């Protein structure tokens, strides 16, 4: 199980992979390319999220958190794109775009997922409120159908103060649905839900050992996740019967992942530790937290048997809270067999690059 970096394309963020093409973002221009990162053609220009988002340069984009947070495909060649507190509906045929949802209360989307009801085959696009204010507000699950004009609805809502935010909603290969929440105390939890997202049952909660942003079921039936903690050593872990066991240590907190039928590819982050309450010091902090093992962000591959370190890059010199954690993100959709796409963030050599990895 060996993957290698086969191509790097500067200035493009991979957004969504389809059987016929790869959707990319360059600045505010949405583009399509072939799967080899060639034949790049424009689709449309997306609106700026703020006046600051018009500033040129990669550093400004990082400081003001420009770019696409998540994407999901719906019917008739439309793509849902989350940017800060707005979800746009974009026609990949005509380039037309419309606001699909304005998220109230300053929340945003960390991950957007597709859930399929096994009894009806109905597809649902969903996400949970991701807010960083930690102000004790209720946290909602959002859902919509895949028709172009479908409306967003609420699923279950976490009561005020019970969780800080939602990291992800995941459906595993056996059709089980999980909701992953963070960050501290009992808010760090894995919940079982249903395809309508109306039920919430805690499976494991109350420690950094179950604080997770992704979860995957391997072909052998093993359910695994990686921890997302800046405070404690992070691990790939196996979840069985509500109990989590360590599989292997990893270099840092894990926020992003991409999975196909046989592998999960996930990254680790270089992020700072706890806030000190001193604003200037916290914004310009450059030291990794105690749960981060060094200054390298990494990409791993796991197939249920073997954990392989695929790629690593050092965090660049810019402060982490000011100019983003060092990590790698992945695009949504389904890449061709034996390849995946990643996006370097705040790391030397790979920052702002679309990276194509292929099995060798």
Q: What is the CATH number of the domain that holds 189?
A: 2.130.10.10
Compute the average pLDDT of residues 158-181.
96
| pTM of structure | 0.96
CA distances from 302 to 15, 169, 266, 337 (A): 22, 20, 8, 15
240: domain range?
3-359
Per-residue pLDDT at 50: 72
Per-residue pLDDT at 49: 77
Residue 201 near residue 194 (C-beta atoms within 8 A): no
| Rounded Cα gap, residues 66 and 44, in angstroms | 17
Residue 36 near residue 355 (C-beta atoms within 8 A): no
Select from 102, 58, 63 the least CA-distant residue to 82.
Answer: 102
User: Is pLDDT of 51 > 70?
Assistant: no
Per-residue pLDDT at 232: 97
- Report the percent of the chain where pLDDT is more than 90: 93
Per-residue pLDDT at 52: 63
Task: Give the number of domains in the chain.
Answer: 1
Tokens of 185: 């105390």
């Amino acid at each position: 199980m060996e993957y290698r970096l086969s191509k790097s394309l500067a200035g493009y963020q991979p957004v969504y992979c389809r059987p016929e093409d790869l959707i990319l973002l360059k600045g505010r221009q949405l583009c399509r390319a072939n799967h080899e990162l060639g034949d790049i053609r424009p689709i449309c220009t997306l609106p700026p999220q703020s006046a600051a988002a018009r500033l040129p340069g990669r550093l400004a984009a990082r400081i003001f958190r420009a770019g696409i947070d998540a994407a999901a495909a719906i019917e008739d060649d439309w793509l849902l794109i989350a940017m800060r507190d707005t979800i746009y509906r974009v026609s990949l045929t005509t380039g037309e775009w419309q606001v699909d949802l304005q998220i109230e209360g300053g929340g945003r989307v960390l991950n957007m997922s597709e859930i399929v009801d096994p009894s009806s085959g109905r597809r649902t696009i969903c996400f949970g409120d991701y807010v960083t204010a930690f102000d004790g507000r209720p946290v909602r699950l959002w859902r919509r159908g895949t028709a172009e004009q479908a409306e967003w609805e609420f699923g279950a809502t976490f009561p005020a103060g019970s969780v800080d935010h939602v990291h992800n909603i995941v459906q595993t290969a056996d059709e089980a649905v999980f909701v992953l929440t963070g960050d501290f105390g009992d808010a760090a939890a894995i919940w079982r839900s249903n395809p309508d997202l109306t039920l919430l049952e805690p499976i494991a909660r109350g420690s950094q050992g179950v604080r997770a942003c992704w979860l995957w079921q391997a072909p052998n039936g093993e359910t695994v996740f990686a921890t997302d903690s800046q405070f404690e050593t992070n691990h790939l872990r196996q979840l069985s019967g509500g109990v989590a066991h360590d599989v292997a240590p990893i270099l840092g907190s894990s926020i992003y992942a991409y999975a196909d039928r046989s592998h999960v590819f996930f990254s680790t982050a270089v992020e700072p530790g706890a806030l000190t309450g001193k604003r200037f010091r916290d914004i310009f902090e450059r030291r990794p937290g105690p749960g981060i093992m060094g200054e390298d962000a990494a990409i791993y591959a796991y197939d249920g048997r073997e954990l392989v370190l695929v790629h690593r890059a050092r965090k660049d010199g810019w402060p982490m809270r000011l100019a983003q954690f060092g990590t790698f993100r992945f695009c949504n959709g389904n890449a061709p067999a034996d390849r995946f796409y990643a996006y370097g963030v705040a790391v030397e050599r790979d920052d702002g690059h679309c990276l194509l990895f292929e099995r060798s």
